[in-house]
A and B are shown apart, each in its own frame.
Chain A
Amino acid sequence: MKLRTLLLASAAAIGVAGAGAAEDYVIGVMSAQSGYLAPYDGPAYAGFQYCIDQMNAAGGLNGTTPVKLIVRDTRSDIAEGVKVVQEMIDEGAKFVVSSADADPTIAAAQITAADGIPTMTFAGTAPVLTLVGEHVFGSYPADNQQAAVLAGYARDQGFEKVWLVKSPDSAYTLGGPEYFGEAFTSLGGAVVGESSYSLNQPDFSAIVTTIQNAGDAPDLIVTWAWEPDFPALIRALRGAGVETQVMGGDVLDTPTVRGLGDVVAGTVHSSGGFPDEGSAYADFIEAFKAETGTTPDNNYYVNGCDIAHMIEQAVAAAGSTDPAAVSAAMAGIEGGKGIMSDFTFAGTDRMPLREVVIARITADGEKEFVLREAADPAILPQP
């Protein structure tokens, strides 16, 4: 009788374990397909799904853990985001990939905090977002890393006096230039002036005039402005005859900015990666193009794919899909292998240390590689 009970119990246990192993690893994906986040969430989701599909075709993460995605459109609406994250958890999500901005990521992270479900932003770069909890992760090189590398390059090139053009309307457009200023100053440079603009401001002539008439003329202008503000700013500058070197954040890494012609020639910007010939990134672009017919023309595609790699490596290190174990394993990753660049979470506040690329826009509307390096912790501005 005892033996029979034991056998039954073992069978039940094996059955449960077997069911567990066959169970899909459910990942919830918040992806804004319209609204201000769509230009980032759309490509990021496309890249993420592409790589998850490939992994699933090979048996799942690490060949053993099939992934099931729950994808929900948030329309860039934070309330909608809150709702869909709760739905994902209801539906058994054990990992949440959140929209590419701090607001929806932090809102999502506060919900996932209860169950400690690891939550990673598609491309949010504000370093503050991981302060919410031990389960929140960035994926893209943070603003302060990009700013520090860009500032280092600028000082190496001999620039001494920077003018910062920032907008308080978003953490990105405000934080980027401020981090730059901090790093630039700690490297011996000086911030000689600052201007503020509003998002979607149509006219930058007042700012240009201020810069032109500055008592202490800058030799460098730095902004984290994006479209349509950056094109308006650079046209106003060059139109007024101000030829001062301009540097900016990774939002300038788009075909439309490069297509602006002469006015942007020589502009230098930071970026998350660069598809050098023969690199894994270049191979990814070709493979993605062949598979989907779409050319990944920005870094969000490949970063989406790298998120799949981060999750895969964290699950491998954790040896399970338990949320707490995956979070802990993710936070311990050192030198993880990615396609855009490698990533290290260990020793950070969960914004990964990744190499930052500096690129220059050429006169013929292409971008050329300048340098690739990781931020120097000594000058890394604190969030």
Chain B
Amino acid sequence: MSDLSTHPARLKIANLVRTGLTVLVLLLVVTGLSMVLGRMGERIALQMAVNVVAVVALAIYCGNTGIVSFGHGAFLALGAYFSGILTMPAALQRSALPDLPGFLAGHELSLWVSLPVVAIAGLAFAVLTGSVIARLVGASATIATLGLLIIVHSVAIGAREITRGSQTFYGVPRVTDLAVMVGAAIVAVIIARTYRESRWGLFARAARDDSDAATALGIDTRRTRFLSWCLSGTLATLAGALYGHMLGAFSPASFYLPLVFAHVVMMIVGGTAAVSGAVVGVIAVTLLQDTVRQFEGGATVFGIALPEVFGLTTIVLGLAILLVIWARPQGLVGGFEWGPTAEARLLKGIRKATEPAPPSASVAPAQLEADGLSKSFAGVKAVANVSFQAPTGRVTGLIGPNGAGKSTLVNLLTRAYQPDDGAARIGDVDLTRVPHHKVAGFGIARSFQNLRLFRGLTAYENVLVAALASGRDRGAAASVTLRELAALDLADVAGERADNLPYGARKRLEIARALAQEPQILLLDEPAAGMNPTETEDLGDRLSEIAAARGIGILLIDHDLRFVNRLCDWIVVMNRGQLIAQGTPDDIRNDPSVIEAYIGRGRAAQTTTKPDEPTTEPKYTMGVVPS
């Protein structure tokens, strides 16, 4: 086991090493190709480098948001045409594009002047399109990107004065310098890797893995998609410019579905979730294509003359894709960035420690208040006119049989649902009137009934995201993360991927993530569900300790009444959407309406009419109430 305090330093180095490894692999392949195959190898490497820029750009959006885009052909086309027009020799431009609008004509820029201009245009276009596409998720976003491709393709065909329509656009200066292209590929990899590990990259991946959980942490998920789209689109525009300068001549069809599919295939073969996946995908597909290509025209292998089989490349490529999808659905690299993790033996020697944040001082007093909250689903009243308070310094239990409306109430309090009536207040603020992702900013954090971790992130990163989302800088966030991981006994698994953790640890991780926001009020939706008695006991101890030390208010929902009784100072009971009782645990234990709600009218009557039975520990509290 590694020392937790060195985890942030090790992660930082691991991230640098992973970036370095990806760049190194790219350089090795380029060098190998150039040395073994000479000029032919250089040509292959050149084409590969351009594809690396394009596919890495594509993966910045797809990998970080989990949305496949077919729209990046639009950016490629924009970059290629715009840079082509800006750099074209003026004399050639007058004959090839006689009707070109004056402000575009005759610039004759060098590539180095043209690229920044093209990048700005790409960014502007990305902002414009992203403001629409970032509103969408999943398949609808993918369809929208396809729509963008079709629209831009049609416009490129229609804008004859600028693009020569469907005819070949030629005269673009050919930049065939391998060093320039490989340099561009390396820069693209570094940009993509930096973004991926940055605050906004982490937010985007958190939103990708679980949008609701990310929103509850205060992350504006739409904004994460927008930023990813803008960076991705800008880089894709540059990739298009480089591609155009490699080709020298092209038409709108050059950037349409065949090219887009080729890029998507490379990304999927390598692995969508990682930058190294994009690079490995391009390398693998390129090498496979160019190896097979040599045998197409007929060849002699080990004395056996092979016949001409044109189309072999397409066949082998198709088979390879099928094989990858079958054997490694997450791509060659898999879902995680390629290279050492923070836990790698290689990095054990790193001693630079980050001090865990000191235990937070008692939080400012506050009170979360439900005021007449009501919510119906299709006419069924899930929550009806519920009012109660959960102040800081108190653990408030919220119990009730299955279907009582507890989770709905939590969702109303945290603005995940919009109530039909009533208000959820913290101080003077009515939370039902603030956007969902801003609720966290009012000192409210929550866990979820069903685990909602960010699967693609490590335990450490799950907590770090929460700390960053509450507005801390990277260093402070790391300190808080270390504190919460230690508080919930997660130090040993800090570098593990969240979905590899055992169940109990995952439950604790959700709580650590919520605590990292240093909330005033913490809402825990069945934190002990599914845990064994020892784990439950341990969790109870930890929560008591945290509540006492920090003075936060906890609103605890659980079915395990022993657990609730042990922790809570105040218990609110719901049944069929209504608040039926609230009071101290003792009051609740003796409340006939509560007993009736749990075990029915007949049994309730029996229980309350036997004065000789111990009343402090009624039988129904002995274990978990059957659901």
Give residues in A with beta carbon < 8 Å to B.
31, 33-35, 42, 71-73, 75-79, 82-83, 86-87, 90, 102-103, 106-107, 109-111, 126, 128-129, 131-132, 168-171, 174-175
Whether the pair B249, A170 counts as a contact (CB closer than 8 A) is no
Known: A73-B296, A82-B246. A106 touches B310 (CB 8 A): no
In angstroms, Cα B357 to Cα A314, docked, is 84
Task: Give the residues from 282 to 329 in chain B that come closer than 8 angstroms, CB to CB, to chain A.
Answer: 293, 296-297, 310-311, 313-314
Whether the pair B47, A79 counts as a contact (CB closer than 8 A) is yes
Known: A87-B43, A111-B248, A169-B157. A34 touches B311 (CB 8 A): yes
Whether the pair A110, B43 counts as a contact (CB closer than 8 A) is no
- Chain A residue, CB-CB nearest to B297: A71
Whether the pair B311, A110 counts as a contact (CB closer than 8 A) is no
Whether the pair A132, B170 counts as a contact (CB closer than 8 A) is yes
- Chain A residue, CB-CB nearest to B95: A131
Whether the pair B247, A168 counts as a contact (CB closer than 8 A) is no
Q: CB within 8 A of A128: which of B39, B43, B168, B311?
A: B168
Q: Could you say which residues of chain B place their CB within 8 Å of the CB of A42?
A: 310
Q: Could you say which residues of chain B place their CB within 8 Å of the CB of A106?
A: 168, 170, 249
Q: How far is the CB of B605 from chain A (nearest CB, A)?
A: 73
Q: Could you say which residues of chain B place their CB within 8 Å of the CB of A103?
A: 168, 249-251, 253-254
In angstroms, Cα B166 to Cα A128, docked, is 12
In angstroms, Cα B253 to Cα A170, docked, is 8
The 9 closest A-B pairs by CB, nearest first: A33-B310, A107-B249, A110-B248, A106-B249, A171-B167, A106-B168, A106-B170, A34-B311, A102-B168
Whether the pair B253, A72 counts as a contact (CB closer than 8 A) is no
Q: Is B44 an interface residue (CB 8 A)?
A: yes
Known: A129-B168, A168-B165. A79 touches B247 (CB 8 A): yes
- Chain A residue, CB-CB nearest to B256: A169
Known: A75-B313, A75-B314. A110 touches B258 (CB 8 A): no
Q: Is B403 an interface residue (CB 8 A)?
A: no
Whether the pair A171, B168 counts as a contact (CB closer than 8 A) is yes
Q: Could you say which residues of chain A place their CB within 8 Å of the CB of B113?
A: none
For chain B, the bracket of interface size reads 35 or more
In angstroms, Cα B95 to Cα A168, docked, is 21
Whether the pair B174, A111 counts as a contact (CB closer than 8 A) is yes
If over half of A's interface residues share one DSSP class (helix, strand or loop), that class is named, otherwise mixed; here it is helix
Task: Give the residues from 31 to 57 in chain B that come closer than 8 angstroms, CB to CB, to chain A.
Answer: 39-40, 43-44, 47, 50
Q: Could you say which residues of chain B place their CB within 8 Å of the CB of A131?
A: 95-96
* Given contact pairs A75-B313, A103-B250, a sample of 4 additional A-B residue pairs in the complex whose CB atoms are under 8 Å apart: A33-B296, A102-B251, A106-B170, A109-B249
Q: CB within 8 A of A168: which of B39, B158, B171?
A: B158
Task: Give the residues from 342 to 363 in chain B that come closer than 8 angstroms, CB to CB, to chain A.
Answer: none
Q: Could you say which residues of chain B place their CB within 8 Å of the CB of A107?
A: 168, 170, 247-250
Known: A79-B246, A82-B246, A170-B166. A90 touches B39 (CB 8 A): yes
Q: Is B460 an interface residue (CB 8 A)?
A: no
Known: A103-B254, A107-B249. A34 touches B310 (CB 8 A): yes
In angstroms, Cα B167 to Cα A83, docked, is 21
Task: Give the residues from 170 to 201 in chain B that come closer than 8 angstroms, CB to CB, to chain A.
Answer: 170-171, 174, 176
In angstroms, Cα B249 to Cα A109, docked, is 9
Q: Could you say which residues of chain A place their CB within 8 Å of the CB of B448?
A: none
Whether the pair B43, A102 counts as a contact (CB closer than 8 A) is no
Whether the pair B254, A83 counts as a contact (CB closer than 8 A) is no
Task: Give the residues from 138 to 187 in chain B that come closer than 8 angstroms, CB to CB, to chain A.
Answer: 157-158, 165-168, 170-171, 174, 176
Whether the pair B39, A78 counts as a contact (CB closer than 8 A) is no
Q: Is B243 an interface residue (CB 8 A)?
A: yes
In angstroms, Cα B313 to Cα A76, docked, is 12
Whether the pair A72, B167 counts as a contact (CB closer than 8 A) is no
Q: How far is the CB of A30 from chain B (nearest CB, A)?
A: 12
Q: How far is the CB of A88 from chain B (nearest CB, A)?
A: 11
Task: Give the residues from 218 to 256 in chain B that come closer than 8 angstroms, CB to CB, to chain A.
Answer: 243, 246-251, 253-254
- Chain B residue, CB-CB nearest to A78: B254
Q: Could you say which residues of chain A place their CB within 8 Å of the CB of B47?
A: 79, 83
Known: A78-B247, A131-B95, A168-B165. A110 touches B174 (CB 8 A): yes
Q: Could you say which residues of chain A place their CB within 8 Å of the CB of B254?
A: 78, 103
